Chains A and B, each alone.
Chain A
Amino acid sequence: MGQKHLTLIFIGILAVAFPFLVTSDYYLHLVIIALMWVVIGSAWNLLAGFTGQVSFGHAMFFGVGAYTAGIIVTKLEMSAWWGMMFGGVTAMLIGLFVGWVCFRLRGPYFALATLAGSEIFRLIATNWESLTEGMVGILIIQTFTSKLPYYYIALTLAFLCIFFIHVVMKSKWGYYFVSIREDQDAAESMGINTTRYKNVSLLISSFFTGMAGAFYMNYMAFIDPHVVFSLHYISIMAILVGIVGGVATIMGPAVGAFIMIGLQETFRSAFFGLAPPWTSEAHILVFGLLVIFVILFLPNGIVGDWSKIKRNMFRIKASS
C-alpha cells in the first residue's frame, strides 16, 4: 500500500514538473492529447467497464461538448472557457435523453443504439449549417499562444476525472454499478433501481466526455463534424484506450491513453521520419493486432493483468 502511494506521488510530481523537464512543444502537445484521452477513456470505462453498458458512440458526447464550446464562442461571443462547463452540461443533457431512450435496451442492442446515436449527431452537425457551419467547421482564436496553460488544464481535468471516479467507485453508487454489470435481474431484486443507476453512470460519463470535447475545441481551435463525431478516431479509440489499459480498473484508461496516443503518433509520423512513409498508414492495422494480443493474453488489460505481466517478465529474466 505504501509503495503504491509513493508511486502515485512520484507520478504526480513528474506530471506537474513535466513541461519544465521536456520543453519541446511537440512532446507537450502529445501529452496534452494523451491527457484528454485519459478523461475520455476513464469516462467510457465508468459506463462500460464498471456499469457494463458498452457504448460504441462516445463520439456523440465528445462532439456535442466540442460543438457547445464552439457555438458559445461563434454565436454567443462568450469566452470559450464557458464552453468547458456548458460543454459538459450539454453532453449530460444529451446523455439523459440517450439513457431515457436506450436503457430500455440491453447488451449489444444498447451498444448499437449508441453507435446510431453518434451518427445521428454527426449528420445534425453536418446539415444544421446555420448553427454549426456544417462541413466548413468552427474556427476560433486560441486563448493562449503557449501550450503550458493547456497542459495544466488537461492535467487538472484528467486528475479530477480519475479522482471523482475513484470516489464514486468506493461509494454506494460504485457497488450498485458493479452489481448492475454482474447481473441486472439480481440487482433489481436487491432493491437497486437499475434504470436510475445506469442513467447516473451515463450522466457522469457523458459529462466528462463533453468536458474533454470542449477542451479539444479550445485547444485545437478548429473542429468539423468528421473530426469530433468520428467513429474510429473517437468512439472506437475510447474503447481501445479502455481495453488496452484495463477495463474496470481505475488507472487502466490512463495507462491505455498514453500507450494508444504513443502508438498512434509513432505510426502517424512514420517512426518519427525514420521509416518509409507508407508505414504511417499502418497504425490502424497495428491497433487491430494490439487489441487481438490484449484480448488473447491480457483479457483484463495492462493494469488489470499487471501481476501476470510482472510474473512473466520475471520468468524471462530468470531464464536468460
Chain B
Amino acid sequence: MALLEVKNLTKAFGGLKAVNDVTFHVDEGEIMGLIGPNGSGKTTIFNCINNYYSITSGDVIFKGNSIKGLKTHKICHLGIGRTFQVVKPLARMTVLDNVTASAFCRVGSIKEAKEEAAKILEFSGLTDHKDKLAKSLPIGGRKRLEIARALATKPEMLLLDETAAGLTPSELDEAIELIQKIRENGTTILIVEHIMKVIMTISDRIHAINFGQTIGEGTPHEVANNPAVITAYLGEAYAQC
C-alpha cells in the first residue's frame, strides 16, 4: 500500500517551474531514492511535501488523506519527519536537549521526553556527545543529530535530505548502516542523495528527475541504465553506448 503519494506536483517560483508535474509514490516499509543533478528540484519536492513551500498545483497524499496546505508542524504530528540538507542544529542547546525538544512531539512529561531522547541518541550513536553543545559537533555529528531529531518525532515516514553529503568514507558506511537500521524499525524512507554509493546500496526503488520533471523510475539497476538518466548526468555522448 502506498504510504505517501505525490500526484502531479508542480511548484512555480514566478515563471520558473522548479517542480513540474511530478508523480510518484512510496510504499510502506520501502526506501525510495530521489535523484537528479544539482538544481533539479529534489529539495523543493521535500519542501512541498511538508508545506515549507505551498504547492502551486497537484496533491500530496499521506495514508490516504491529502496533507496539502496543512501547517508544517501538523504534518510532523501526522508522522512525516524530515532532515535538512543544510543542517539546522539548535546551536546553543546540548545534543540531548535538541532531541528532547523534538521528543515532546509524542510525549507529555519531561521525564519521558528525556528517556526517549536518550534512547534515540543511543540508537543514532550520539550518546558520547549528549552533553556537548550542538554547535561543537563536527559535520558528521550534525547530520546524525538531524536524523536523531527527526526520529524523536516518531515518524512513520522519514524524509532524508542529503544526509551523507560531506561525510568521510568511514562515516558514510556508518550512515548507510544507520539508515538501514531505521528501516528495519519499520520507518518508510524517502531519501535525496548525490552519493551514488549510498543511493544504489540502500534504495529499493529510485525516482530520477531533471529540470523539475520525471526522467525515470525503477530499481537502482534500471535507473542506472536508463538513457535519460545517463544523459542528464553525463551528457548525450554516454547515453548511446
Contacts of B82 on A, CB cut-off 8 Å? 189
On chain A, the residues within 8 Å of B93 by CB distance are 178-179, 182
Distance in angstroms from B88 CB to nearest chain A CB is: 4
A112 interface residue per 8 A CB criterion: no
Q: Is B224 an interface residue (CB 8 A)?
A: no
A186 beta carbon closer than 8 Å to chain B: yes
> Number of contact residues on B: which range applies?
20 to 34
Interface string of B146-169 (1 = CB under 8 A from A): 000110110000000000000000
Residues in A173-187 with C-beta less than 8 Å from chain B: 175-176, 178-179, 182-183, 185-187
Q: Does A193 contact B (CB under 8 A)?
A: yes
Residues of B within 8 A of A295 (CB): none
Nearest CB in chain A: distance from B130 CB, A: 15
Q: Would A192 and B88 count as touching, CB distance under 8 A? A: no
| Highest count of chain B CB atoms <10 Å: which of A170, A175, A185 | A175
A274 to B186, CA, bound (A): 77
Task: Assess whether A23 is interfacial by the CB under 8 Å rule.
Answer: no
A191 touches B105 (CB 8 A): yes
- Assuming the contacts A189-B50, A193-B73, asked whether A175 and B97 have C-beta atoms less than 8 A apart, the reply is yes
Interface size on A, residues (CB 8 A): 19
Closest to B82 in A: A189
Complex Cα gap A175–B107 (Å): 13
Which of B73, B89, B153 neighbours the largest number of chain A CB atoms within 10 Å of its CB? Answer: B73
Neighbour of A179 across the interface among B72, B90, B110, B150, CB < 8 A? B90
Residue of chain A at shortest CB distance from B152: A190
| Minimum C-beta distance from B178 to chain A (A) | 19
Query: A182's closest neighbor in chain B, by CB?
Result: B90
Q: Contacting B72 at CB < 8 Å: which of A170, A172, A176, A188?
A: A188
Quick check: A186 and B110 within 8 Å, CB to CB? no
Given A170-B110, A172-B104, residue A189 in contact with residue B84 (CB < 8 A):
yes
Query: Does any Cβ of B come within 8 Å of A194's Cβ?
Result: yes
User: Once bound together, how far apart are the Cα atoms of A207 and B10, in whole Å?
Assistant: 45
Apart from A183-B90, A188-B52, A189-B73, 11 more pairs, CB < 8 Å: A175-B113, A178-B90, A179-B90, A183-B89, A188-B72, A188-B76, A190-B101, A190-B105, A191-B77, A191-B102, A191-B153
Binding site for A on B (CB under 8 A): 50, 52, 71-73, 76-77, 81-82, 84, 88-93, 97, 100-102, 104-105, 108, 110, 113, 149-150, 152-153
